[in-house]
A and B are shown apart, each in its own frame.
Chain A
Amino acid sequence: EIVLTQSPGTLSLSPGERATLSCRASQSVTNNYLAWYRQTPGQAPRLLIYGASTRATGIPARFSGSGSGTDFTLTISRLEPEDFAVYYCQQYGHSPTFGQGTKLEI
């Protein structure tokens, strides 16, 4: 099983600032099958990025994903109020697994 470790656990920033979230895999992720999701309280997760760097439909350009192999990054260029939430990475290779999440707070 591929273990995904996200850092930091909590990130405190202000609207308009830049956020950088990390996801490290215990082994190389097949075909860079790495996705990022945002979850707000009481809601289902929303897909932001797939294939490590492709924005999902309707996701604004301030979200970008990068990385390959075992190290991946989600960057939010200018934080909007709705971006303060919990972010999860997921590898969707043979047996999908999720990271433990990064809470982005004001």
Chain B
Amino acid sequence: QVQLVQSGAEVKKPGSSVKVSCKASGGTFSSYPISWVRQAPGQGFEWMGGIIPIFGRAHYAQKFQGRVTITADESTSTAYMELSSLTSEDTALYYCARGDAGTELDYWGQGTLVTVSS
């Protein structure tokens, strides 16, 4: 059974960066894709980007290009999402999920709340 466990809630100042982690257990981490999806309060979902750890190359939604970096560490079965130049509009629940373009999101992390406030 695949489990994805994310890091804890963060409070950040406008203009700063945040890095969220997603540790996987079960399955073969290196060969399955991981996506990052966010959900603003009371809103729907936005796919931010994804990575297949064994290939190491991430791809991103156009909206987040240049501001988001997704990486993966095969040695610890952990994926990361770093978002820079934060504004209040980035306040949201951030989820990692197994899947990407071409595959459904079949397992999800518990979500990490990122609050951007001065």
Contact = CB atoms under 8 A, between A and B. Distances in A.
Interface of A: 1, 33, 35, 37, 44-47, 50-51, 56-57, 88, 90, 92-101
Closest 3 pairs between A and B when the two form their complex, measured CB to CB:
A50-B104, A44-B108, A98-B45
B61 interface: yes
Contact of A92 (B44, B95, B105): B105
Contacts of A45: 45, 95, 105, 108
B115 interface: no
Interface string B30-74: 000001000000001111000000000000011000000000000
Interface majority SS (helix, strand, loop, mixed), chain A: loop
18 contacts: A33-B104, A35-B104, A37-B105, A44-B109, A45-B45, A45-B108, A47-B104, A50-B104, A56-B104, A57-B106, A90-B104, A92-B101, A95-B61, A95-B101, A98-B45, A98-B47, A99-B44, A101-B44
Interface of B: 35, 44-47, 61-62, 95, 99-106, 108-111
B111 A44 contact: yes
Contacts, number: 56
B109 A47 contact: no
Contact of B46 (A57, A93, A98): A98
A90 B45 contact: yes
Contact of B45 (A33, A46, A51, A88): A88
